[in-house]
Amino acid sequence: MILARLEDVALQYGSRIVLEHCSLDIEQGAITCIIGLSGAGKSTILRLLNGLRRPSAGRVYVKGVDLGQMDQRDLVEFRRSVGFSFQFAALFDSIDVFENVAMPLREHTRLSTAEIERIVDNTLESVGLENVKDKMPSELSGGMLKRVGFARAVVTNPELVLYDEPTTGLDPILTHLLTNTIIRLRKKLNGTVVVVSHDLPSIFAMADYVAMLYEGAIIAYGKLAEIKNSPNPIVQQFLQGSEVGPIPI
């Protein structure tokens, strides 16, 4: 079953074309990883999927609803069902970990203080950070910051969670930890995940489906094994990290 779909989407920033004739299906209950060259527009797809960007042409559907037809009020309501983990966590430096994670609950629900505390504590425990809720972001390591960002993204129990470069700049041990955390959170939420990443070992460990974005369009899409064995020379050059192939260096 398809939870979300990009249908012949185009998007440009000024005169720069980022996406063109870009189509992609997001399978419900699966982890879909989007790969591609730096600056290809992968993160833009995440912003389209939660309504932060509107396409210049084409359609973006989530649960059959065209996001382009929503007014701002409807989009705010819609985003309650979508979690977004930003590349650099994007935590608020002036408030502690607990309040960072609690913020979506305070903004979007009428839960009691006791109920918010219970949910935040459980969510922090699910990412292995139950003992840092009183700390400030400046006191945390890079891996901890990422996991707090994960916790904030899933604290409202969203149907769809979007992760933007979750393992960028981290060592192999932390990368493994965060990859396993994403897998575990998806199982706990029984939800759908889209991950943008360059980290091929992490992708190979978590992905059910992989889509490759190249020159504004998805040029290959399928289950992980299908992409690994793709006959497309662009895909193979990217996966092998080779200087030889159709991708210009």
The parent domain of residue 67 ranges over 2-240
User: How many domains are contained in the chain?
Assistant: 1
In a domain, 201, yes or no: yes
Q: Is the pLDDT of residue 6 over 90?
A: yes
Residues forming a β-bridge with 60: 6
pLDDT at 79: 85
Q: What is the mean pLDDT of the chain?
A: 92
In a domain, 245, yes or no: no
Calculate mean pLDDT across residues 83-109. 87
Q: Is the pLDDT of residue 24 over 90?
A: yes
Q: Alpha-carbon distance 173 to 100, whole Å? A: 25
Model confidence over 149-164: pLDDT tens digits?
A: 999 999 999 999 999 9
pLDDT at 161: 95
pLDDT at 214: 96
In a domain, 248, yes or no: no
Calculate mean pLDDT across residues 119-142. 91
pLDDT band of 218, cuts 50, 70, 90 = very high
In a domain, 192, yes or no: yes
Q: What is the CATH number of the domain that holds 85?
A: 3.40.50.300
In a domain, 221, yes or no: yes
Question: Do residues 85 and 150 make contact, with C-beta atoms less than 8 angstroms apart?
Answer: yes
Q: Is the pLDDT of residue 87 over 80?
A: no
Q: Alpha-carbon distance 168 to 144, whole Å? A: 13
pLDDT at 2: 95
Calculate mean pLDDT across residues 211-226. 96
In a domain, 29, yes or no: yes
pLDDT band of 170, cuts 50, 70, 90 = confident
**CB neighbours of residue 185 within 10 Å:** 23
Calculate mean pLDDT across residues 65-71. 91
pLDDT band of 110, cuts 50, 70, 90 = confident
pLDDT band of 107, cuts 50, 70, 90 = confident
In a domain, 247, yes or no: no
Q: Alpha-carbon distance 194 to 34, whole Å? A: 7
In a domain, 36, yes or no: yes
pLDDT band of 1, cuts 50, 70, 90 = very high
Label the pairing between strands 82-85 and 65-66: unpaired
Calculate mean pLDDT across residues 196-225. 96
Residues forming a β-bridge with 32: 194, 209
Q: Is the pLDDT of residue 88 over 90?
A: no
CA angle 41, 42, 46 (to 5 degrees): 115
CA 52 to chain centre: 13
Q: Is the pLDDT of residue 8 over 90?
A: yes
pLDDT at 231: 95
**CB neighbours of residue 92 within 10 Å:** 12
State pTM to two decimals: 0.94
